[in-house]
Amino acid sequence: MSTQTGSEGEPIKLISVEESFLIPEIIDELKRLAGGVPSMKSGPIAGPFMPRLLDIGAGRIAEMDADGVDIQVLAVTAPGVQKFDPQTGLSLAKLANDRLAETISAYPDRYAGLAVAPPQAAREAAKELERAIGDLRLNGLVINSHTNDEYLDDEKYWPLLEAAESLGAPIYLHPREPNAGLEQSLMAMTGFTVGWGYAVETGTHALRMIAAGVFERFPKLQVVLGHLGETLPFLLDRIDNRYPFEIGVTGVKPLPKKPSEYFRSNFTISTSGMNFAAPVRAAIDILGADRIMFAADYPMENQREMVRAYQAIALSDDERRQISELTARRVFGIG
């Protein structure tokens, strides 16, 4: 199972933090909404990923063993329960969270997991998060970017952010298809939707949270971004550099800190789909290995190839231990 050994001889576990699953009841509801037609907008309601998305048992564990992954952090894949009416979203969230807790207790050394909750019912979602963290002992919350084309900078969603902060539950801000405002420019660019459009959608979401003062209001809230931070780490210096000029010109009250300071204190990133040496090295230089976690993005990416690519990146023992295991244990409270 475990493949790596640090210089002190202690084995390093490989924790993979952005790994998807679905339950049949959510698939049925997504199919109903999409009129049975699978598309980039309807979510993965059909196609080659389906058998693996539905398996959170022995089949997936066998693949993890073969590929060298010790622990997967599971989350309901995009668009989660965010397209449903509030009550349907809430009841499907409870069902998914219960199933997730069951599978984690069946394989406590192999799985951890993130709760799902409908932001479109923010107060009820906050209660469900309390149950999911407090009773079910899940490890955080996944939000699949926009909800009905709105972002978490809107204060009507803040009861959920408040609950996440007070429960110490990190929010994994995962991509979904871009919102209606971005749709024309990004969804129409066939072939580049996931590789570029999802990063623009989700990176914009994260910046909107920073710009709205979310991390002044909830200073302990922790957000996780996949795909090496959806390009943001590589732009932080430029964003900081232009921010005071733009704010000064418009007369808008500036944030008390630089945008990058919120990013550095309130965000952690994963390597999902981005296990390439040059950008991983750059991300370590920019953020430090204690803000980076390995992820494969199973089953959308080939887990074996992702592990192989990650293990081939030249890292110090300390960096390897942080990115493979320690950052994830700290951020998600994995014992």
Whether 268 and 292 have beta carbons less than 8 Å apart is answered as: yes
192: how many CB neighbours lie within 10 A of its CB?
Answer: 12
Stretch that binds Mn ion, among 189-197, 247-255, 291-299, 310-318 (CB under 5 A): 291-299
- Give me the count of residues in the chain: 335
Q: Among this protein's residues, is 297 annotated catalytic?
A: yes
Nearer to Mn ion, 18 or 165 (CB): 18
In whole angstroms, the minimum distance from the beta carbon of 242 to Mn ion comes to 30
In whole angstroms, the minimum distance from the beta carbon of 256 to Mn ion comes to 33
Which pair of tokens denotes residue 286?
């920019």
Nearer to Mn ion, 74 or 122 (CB): 74
Nearer to Mn ion, 163 or 328 (CB): 328
Nearest to 169 by CA among 161, 178, 179: 161
Phi, psi (degrees; rounded to nearest 5) at 68: 90, 30
In whole angstroms, the minimum distance from the beta carbon of 77 to Mn ion comes to 7
In whole angstroms, the minimum distance from the beta carbon of 75 to Mn ion comes to 8
Stretch that binds Mn ion, among 50-58, 85-93, 190-198, 294-302 (CB under 5 A): 294-302
Nearer to Mn ion, 77 or 260 (CB): 77
The count of residues interacting with Mn ion (CB under 5 A) is 2
In whole angstroms, the minimum distance from the beta carbon of 19 to Mn ion comes to 8
* Binding-site member from 29, 70, 124, 297 for Mn ion (CB under 5 A): 297
In whole angstroms, the minimum distance from the beta carbon of 327 to Mn ion comes to 18
Stretch that binds Mn ion, among 23-31, 90-98, 144-152, 290-298 (CB under 5 A): 290-298
For residues 299-318, which are near Mn ion according to CB under 5 A?
none
Whether 148 and 180 have beta carbons less than 8 Å apart is answered as: no
Answer yes or no whether residue 230 interacts with Mn ion by CB under 5 A. no
Whether 12 and 328 have beta carbons less than 8 Å apart is answered as: no
10: how many CB neighbours lie within 10 A of its CB?
Answer: 11
Nearest to 46 by CA among 58, 57, 25, 30: 30
CA-based angle 49:117:61, to the nearest 5?
40
For residues 8-37, which are near Mn ion according to CB under 5 A?
18
Nearer to Mn ion, 165 or 297 (CB): 297
Which pair of tokens denotes residue 267?
């965000």
Nearer to Mn ion, 4 or 202 (CB): 202
Whether 334 and 104 have beta carbons less than 8 Å apart is answered as: no
Q: Is 52 helix (H, G, I), strand (E, B) or coil?
A: helix
Q: 79 vs 177, 271, 273, CA distance in Å?
A: 8, 20, 18
Q: Is 330 helix (H, G, I), strand (E, B) or coil?
A: helix
Query: Which residue minimizes CB distance to Mn ion?
Result: 297
Choosing from 70, 85, 109, 297, the catalytic residue is 297
Q: Which residues bind Mn ion (CB under 5 A)?
A: 18, 297
Catalytic center residues: 297
